[in-house]
């Protein structure tokens, strides 16, 4: 764990638990901490020069999201990627994002269109540079922006928490040939529907986008590429 977290620091003016939660969550989602890998609470506390209490609190929060397993007398590990949890996360995300796209269409303005185009441009550039972690961050920015357009900030928080297991799969799959480019084209279709202020088309384009991502994830899991 110390080897994998050489540069992490905390700001003591901010809540330690939340910072540590964000750090460890990112390491799990990006695969830096792999499925089933041990997470050393004591080592994290030592490296960050904090007590074990905020580390324990952060890991408990991650456990509530099913990203870590805390086993009495055995320690803490990053959870395995479970197909049933992936399916449930997908169903939650699809329902919430379909609503987000539906509402965003009726609120679409030229400013929104310009901002979405810029997000798409930066997303494409990150893919071109094969910077896949950054590419996924712009992918998320696209989806989050739709909830902001719809004035539904709590919706994004619910989506973000529920999609943790899906994000782990995304980081494993994105370098595969064609995956990233397909995502860009699906985002373009969503933008075209939004520009037309067609709520039904925006919803359908969003659902098609998320359905395709889920189907690819299932195939990768069945092929043993994820697990």
Give per-10-residue mean pLDDT for the chain (227 aa): 58 91 92 91 91 95 94 88 93 96 97 98 95 92 96 91 90 76 95 98 98 92 82
* Structure confidence at residue 1 (pLDDT): 46
**Do 94 and 51 fall within a single domain?**
no
* Structure confidence at residue 2 (pLDDT): 42
3-state secondary structure 150-162: CCCHHHHHHHHHH
* Structure confidence at residue 3 (pLDDT): 41
CA 221 – CA 227 distance, rounded (Å): 7
* Structure confidence at residue 170 (pLDDT): 87
The Cα angle at residue 110 between residues 107 and 113, in degrees rounded to 5: 85
The model's pTM is 0.86
Q: How far is CA 140 from the centre of its chain?
A: 7
**Do 63 and 119 fall within a single domain?**
no
**Do 150 and 195 fall within a single domain?**
yes
DSSP element (H, E) containing 171: helix 164-173
* Structure confidence at residue 180 (pLDDT): 85
CATH number of domain containing 39: 1.10.10.10
**Do 87 and 70 fall within a single domain?**
no
Considering its fold, how many domains does the chain have in total? 2
Q: Which residue range is the domain that position 29 belongs to?
A: 16-78
């Amino acid at each position: 764990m110390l080897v994998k977290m050489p540069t992490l620091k905390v700001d003591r003016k901010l809540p330690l638990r939340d910072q540590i939660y964000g750090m460890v969550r990112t390491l799990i989602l990006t695969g830096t901490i792999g499925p089933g890998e041990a997470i050393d609470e004591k080592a994290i506390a030592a490296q960050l020069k904090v007590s074990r209490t905020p580390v324990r609190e952060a890991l408990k929060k991650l456990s509530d999201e099913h990203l870590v397993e805390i086993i009495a007398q055995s320690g803490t590990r990053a959870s395995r990627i479970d197909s049933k949890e992936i399916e449930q996360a997908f169903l939650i995300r699809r329902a919430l994002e379909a609503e987000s796209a539906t509402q965003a269409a009726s609120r679409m303005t030229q400013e929104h269109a310009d901002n979405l185009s810029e997000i798409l441009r930066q997303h494409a550039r990150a893919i071109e540079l094969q910077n896949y972690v950054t590419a996924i961050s712009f992918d998320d920015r696209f989806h989050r922006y739709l909830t902001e357009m719809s004035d539904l900030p709590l919706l994004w928080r619910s989506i973000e928490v529920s999609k943790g297991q899906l994000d782990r799969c995304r980081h494993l799959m994105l370098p595969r040939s064609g995956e990233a480019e397909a995502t860009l084209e699906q985002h373009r279709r969503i933008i075209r529907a939004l520009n037309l202020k067609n709520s039904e088309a925006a919803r359908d384009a969003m659902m098609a986008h998320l359905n395709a991502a889920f189907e690819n994830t299932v195939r990768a899991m069945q092929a043993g590429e994820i697990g």
